[in-house]
């Protein structure tokens, strides 16, 4: 015990007796923590100090070999500050990711201690995932020449505070700043989001996806388009858009941009008057309660307001031409809608599952309603289709369980399959004088449909068209009965139903399969008598 105490005391006295200049341990630590390099990194970085340097300043050319050293220092070592502001990049011939003006892809990815970086002045491009998952990286000094930031370049890094998107930036890749800690983003110019039509994700090309601390986005005057997305920014509550803005999201291609999708606390937004295009998934899954869409908007694109479950009031613009697929699908609080006169198309499931929608007004020239356009609109009571309508898609009103009255326009030639399937309250149907085809299962499971007149223009009635309806009074106008399958009236008690046919045709109908099963067949002089 005494021997151990003696050696401890001796060592303590030795350390205390050494001056700062004489302390070899202290001097080595000082030299290894900070390093300024004016030549090749390989001349200054050794196996002894590569993992000890915390601040590195490079005032020389960075070669391909140097990038490998930097990778080891940042990813495996303790490098915290990297100053390359006075350095130049020397690309490696034959290697695309090592160009004279580019930070190589993945080069600093997963750096465990890196917290501040000064980029070289000649840098134009930051490669794919170059700084991704650098959890402590809080500050990056961008050069004036920066032109492009690639996919996930700073994904889940520690960048925080206010971020001013560099004015000279031309292109930002998918999720370039996804999962960062910015609380405010300011956009100064028209920056393009890189197109990637080969990979569909829940985030699309959203540049700032999953920035959960982001509360405010400001787009400055002069910007004409907004392609940078903020999907799943769940704290975002304030968005300021300039009067110069003309489009939100892509106006071409199949890529989903998800500008403000899943920003579940975004309750209000003011759209500028010059806006003409609202892109794919632009406001889907937000908390918007009302939206006044400017009169200049011509296109509301795919799923633009999809699943905005609190959206109750929508004023559609007079210039609107098309409501695309899923445009307002799942807007469960939307109670009425007026379709402006210039709208020619309502896309697939455009208003599907709008369970509070009670009325639809058609002002003008609508020619196409695609399949499932109003499927499961369970509060809808009356539909009077516009005269210009030429195509009504399959299942367009399927599952509209409160629908009681339908008037089909005279220009429509075909009612496609399952159009009114499961409309359990439907009892008043007027078929237009141009109808030629009644599709399969068209009125399947409409138990209150008791009376119907089928126009003479009808040439074909498909399988199960009136199965499990409540038909008791059916009037047909054909002088000679058309051929139908027995299953057309499956589930209908025809023995208690009356078929009314033109005078002089009773015996023909009594001898024709599909018609002879009616309990009563009677003739009339005028329709309905």
pLDDT category, 201, cuts 50, 70, 90?
A: low
204-248: per-residue pLDDT in tens? 678 999 999 999 999 999 999 999 999 999 999 999 999 999 999
pLDDT at 50: 87
Of 223, 171, 225, 178, residue with least CA distance to 196: 171
- Bridge-based pairing of strands 238-240 and 247-248 is unpaired
Segment 504-513 shows an average pLDDT of 95
Greatest alpha-carbon pair distance for the chain in Å reads: 131
pLDDT digits (tens, 9 = 90+) for 363-382: 988 999 999 999 999 999 99
Tokens encoding 185: 């983003």
SS3 readout for 144-156: CCCCEECCCCCCC
Kindly state the average pLDDT of the residues 432-460: 97
Answer yes or no: is pLDDT of 314 > 70.
Answer: yes
For residues 23 and 390, the model is more confident at 390
Q: How confident is the model at residue 67 (pLDDT cuts 50, 70, 90)?
A: confident
Helices and strands: H and E segment counts in the chain? 4, 38
Of the candidates 499, 461, 503, the one whose C-alpha atom is nearest the C-alpha of residue 482 is 461
Of the candidates 109, 154, 112, 114, the residue with the CA atom closest to the CA atom of residue 137: 114
* Mean pLDDT rounded to a whole number for the chain: 89
Are 361 and 384 contacting, i.e. CB atoms less than 8 angstroms apart? Answer: no
Report the CATH number of the 24-149 domain.
3.80.10.10
Cβ atoms of 384 and 428 closer than 8 Å: no
* Residue 89: per-residue pLDDT: 82
Position with higher pLDDT, 15 vs 64 = 64
Tell me what pLDDT residue 22 has. Answer: 41
Residues in the chain: 529
431 and 451 Cβ atoms separated by less than 8 Å: no
User: Is residue 13's pLDDT more than 60?
Assistant: no
The answer to whether residues 272 and 249 touch, using CB atoms and an 8 Å cutoff, is no
**pLDDT attached to residue 178:** 95
CA–CA separation, 73 vs 80, rounded Å? 10
* CA–CA separation, 359 and 368 (whole Å): 18
> What DSSP letter does each residue of 360-385 carry, written as one string?
EEE-S---EE-TTTTTT-TT--EEE-
Question: Looking up tokens 């302390």, which residue turns up?
Answer: 23
Interatomic CA distance for residues 312 and 329, integer angstroms: 13
pLDDT value for 117: 97
pLDDT at 15: 37
Burial zone of 198 (CB within 10 Å; 0-12 exposed, 13-18 middle, 19+ buried): exposed
Per-residue model confidence (pLDDT) at position 481:
95
Backbone φ and ψ of 182, nearest 5°: -60, 140
Q: How confident is the model at residue 202 (pLDDT cuts 50, 70, 90)?
A: low
pLDDT band at residue 255 under the 50/70/90 scheme:
low
pLDDT at 195 (0 to 100): 66
For residues 170-199, give the mean pLDDT.
87
Residue 42 contacts residue 70 (beta carbons within 8 Å):
no
Model confidence at 113: pLDDT above 50: yes
Phi, then psi, of 27 in degrees rounded to 5: -65, -40
CA distance 203 to 200: 8
Instruction: Report the share of the chain in percent with pLDDT over 70.
Output: 88
pLDDT value of residue 11: 36
Residue 388: pLDDT band by 50, 70, 90 thresholds? Answer: very high
Q: What is the mean pLDDT of residues 433-441?
A: 97
Q: What proportion of the chain, given as a percentage, has pLDDT over 90? A: 78
User: Where does the pLDDT of residue 91 fall: very low under 50, low under 70, confident under 90, or very high at 90 and above?
Assistant: low
pLDDT tops 50 at residue 26: no
Distance between CA atoms of 220 and 101, rounded to whole angstroms?
A: 29
Instruction: Considering the chain, tell me which residue range(s) the CATH 3.80.10.10 domain(s) occupy.
Output: 24-149
Q: How confident is the model at residue 196 (pLDDT cuts 50, 70, 90)?
A: low
The model's pLDDT over 272-292, given as tens digits with 9 standing for 90+, comes to 999 999 999 999 999 999 999
Distances in whole angstroms, Cα of residue 226 to Cα of each of 50, 85, 219, 419: 44, 31, 8, 38
Q: What is the mean pLDDT of residues 76-99?
A: 77
């Amino acid at each position: 015990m005494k021997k151990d105490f003696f050696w401890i005391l001796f060592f303590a006295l030795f350390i205390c007796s050494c001056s700062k200049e004489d302390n070899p341990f202290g001097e080595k630590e000082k030299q290894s923590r900070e390093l300024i390099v004016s030549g090749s990194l390989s001349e200054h970085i050794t196996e002894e100090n590569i993992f000890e340097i915390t601040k590195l300043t490079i005032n020389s050319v960075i070669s391909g070999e140097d990038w490998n050293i930097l990778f080891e220092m940042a990813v495996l070592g303790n490098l915290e500050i990297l100053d390359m502001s006075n350095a130049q990049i020397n690309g490696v011939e034959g290697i695309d990711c090592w160009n004279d003006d580019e930070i190589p892809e993945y080069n600093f990815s997963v750096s465990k201690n890196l917290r501040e970086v000064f980029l070289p002045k000649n840098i134009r491009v930051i490669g794919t995932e170059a700084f991704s998952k650098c959890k402590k990286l809080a500050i990056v000094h961008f050069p004036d020449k920066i032109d492009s930031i690639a996919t996930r370049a700073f994904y889940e890094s520690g960048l925080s505070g206010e971020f001013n998107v560099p004015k000279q930036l031309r292109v930002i890749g998918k999720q370039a700043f996804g999962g960062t800690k910015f609380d405010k983003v300011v956009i100064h110019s028209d920056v393009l989001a890189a197109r990637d039509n080969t990979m569909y994700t829940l985030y699309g090309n959203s540049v700032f996806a999953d920035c959960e601390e982001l509360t405010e986005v400001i787009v400055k005057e002069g910007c004409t388009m907004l392609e940078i997305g903020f999907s799943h920014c769940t704290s975002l509550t304030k968005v300021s858009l300039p009067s110069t803005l003309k489009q939100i999201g892509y106006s071409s291609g199949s890529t989903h941009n998800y500008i403000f999708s899943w920003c579940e606390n975004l309750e209000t937004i003011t759209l500028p008057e010059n806006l003409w295009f609202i892109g794919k998934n632009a406001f889907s899954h937000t908390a918007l309660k009302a939206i006044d869409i400017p009169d200049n908007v011509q296109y509301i694109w795919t799923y633009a307001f999809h699943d905005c479950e609190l959206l109750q009031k929508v004023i559609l613009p007079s210039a609107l031409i098309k409501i695309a697929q899923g445009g307002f699908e799942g807007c469960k609080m939307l109670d009425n809608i007026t379709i402006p006169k210039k709208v020619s198309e309502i896309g697939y499931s455009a208003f599907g599952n709008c369970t509070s929608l009670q009325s639809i007004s058609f002002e003008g020239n609508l020619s196409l309603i695609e399949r499932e356009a109003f499927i499961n609109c369970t509060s809808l009571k009356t539909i009077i289709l516009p005269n210009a309508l030429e195509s009504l898609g399959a299942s367009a009103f399927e599952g509209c369980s409160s629908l009681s009255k339908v008037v089909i326009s005279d220009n429509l030639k075909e009612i496609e399959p399952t159009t009114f399937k499961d409309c359990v309250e439907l009892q008043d149907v007027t078929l237009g004088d141009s109808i030629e085809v009644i599709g399969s299962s068209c009125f399947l499971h409409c138990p209150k449909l008791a009376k119907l007149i089928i126009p003479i223009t009808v040439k074909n009635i498909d399988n199960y068209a009136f199965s499990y309806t409540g038909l008791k009074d059916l009037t047909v106008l054909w002088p000679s009965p058309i051929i139908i399958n027995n299953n057309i009236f499956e589930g209908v008690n025809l023995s208690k139903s009356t078929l009314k046919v033109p005078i002089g045709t009773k015996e023909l109908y009594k001898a024709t399969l599909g018609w002879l099963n009616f309990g009563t067949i009677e003739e009339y002089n005028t329709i309905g008598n």
